[in-house]
């Protein structure tokens, strides 16, 4: 196994993992920004997990390109600030890329979680938050990913291909659609007579579970990097195990 390096925060703090770890100081509660374009069911699951204490963090901002989407309405009901991005003719009051970075800095955001956000993330934001932006995609990447693969389009393509398995993938975000390093996946069987809606429903159940688990790991500084650039999650129960 290649040597592992711990990535503990957006400040690029890293240590070599070898043997038993020293006792860690208490981990500060993380500040999260979630990006949505629709109903925001993953956002709701993460917010609820934070509120219940299952995640050592808080959603401090909701970013959306649609001010009236379900995720934005939920955020408003919960007192979470809603930020519009990007600026378009339909959303003239939305922020520019530079303004968005400044706003997230003012909110002291540690991690950015994309949860059904359909716009490409600008390079300004990726540079401002290296290794700190994550997305969930409803297929087992690198299959059925990229521009145009979202929502039911993904599940239709999976079924049409004859693939026997699908499931959600959580990956780091780079300058392109769905090409960042894979962090976690969950396998869901594709049934012989599945409709896209049925497959989507079963994958979504696993999305909610997986995103909360990964967010909890992020907020507990349990993401590590192998020397070859592959990110892994350190087990909470056994710090010498990774998955």
Pairwise CA distance, residues 155 & 175, whole Å: 24
Query: Two tokens at 173?
Result: 């975000």
Specify the DSSP element, H or E, that contains 159: helix 152-161
The dihedral built from the CA positions of residue 60, 112, 6 and 51, taken in this order, carries a sign that is: positive
Please give the positions annotated as active site.
Answer: 137
**Residues in CB range of 228: below 8 A, 6 or more apart:** 2
**Among the residues of 162-234, which ranges form H helices?**
196-219
Query: Two tokens at 109?
Result: 């955001």
What is the β-pairing status of strands 111-114 and 57-64? unpaired
Q: Assess whether the previous peptide bond of 86 is cis (omega < 30° from 0).
A: yes
- Choose among 224, 222, 241: nearest CA to 24: 222
């Amino acid at each position: 196994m290649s040597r592992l390096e711990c990535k503990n925060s957006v400040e690029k703090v890293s240590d070599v993992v070898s043997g038993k770890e020293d006792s860690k100081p208490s981990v500060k509660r993380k500040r999260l920004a979630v990006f949505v374009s629709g109903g925001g069911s993953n956002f709701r699951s993460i917010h609820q997990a934070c509120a219940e204490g299952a995640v050592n963090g808080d959603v401090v901002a909701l970013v959306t390109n649609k001010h009236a989407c379900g995720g934005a309405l939920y955020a408003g009901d919960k007192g979470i600030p809603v930020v519009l991005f990007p600026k378009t003719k339909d959303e003239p009051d939305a922020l520019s890329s530079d303004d968005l970075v400044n706003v997230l800095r003012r909110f002291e955001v540690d991690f950015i979680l994309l949860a059904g956000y359909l716009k490409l993330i600008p390079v300004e934001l990726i540079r401002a938050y290296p290794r700190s932006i994550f997305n969930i995609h409803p297929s087992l990447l690198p299959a059925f990913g990229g521009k145009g693969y979202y929502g039911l389009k993904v599940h239709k393509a999976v079924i049409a291909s004859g693939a026997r398995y699908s499931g959600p993938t959580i990956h780091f975000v780079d300058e392109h659609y769905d090409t960042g390093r894979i962090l976690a996946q969950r396998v869901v069987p594709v049934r012989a007579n599945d409709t896209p809606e049925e497959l989507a429903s079963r994958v979504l159940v696993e999305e909610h579970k997986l995103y909360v688990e990964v967010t909890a790991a992020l907020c507990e500084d349990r993401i590590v990097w192998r020397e070859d650039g592959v990110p892994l999650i350190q087990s909470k129960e056994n710090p010498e195990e990774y998955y």
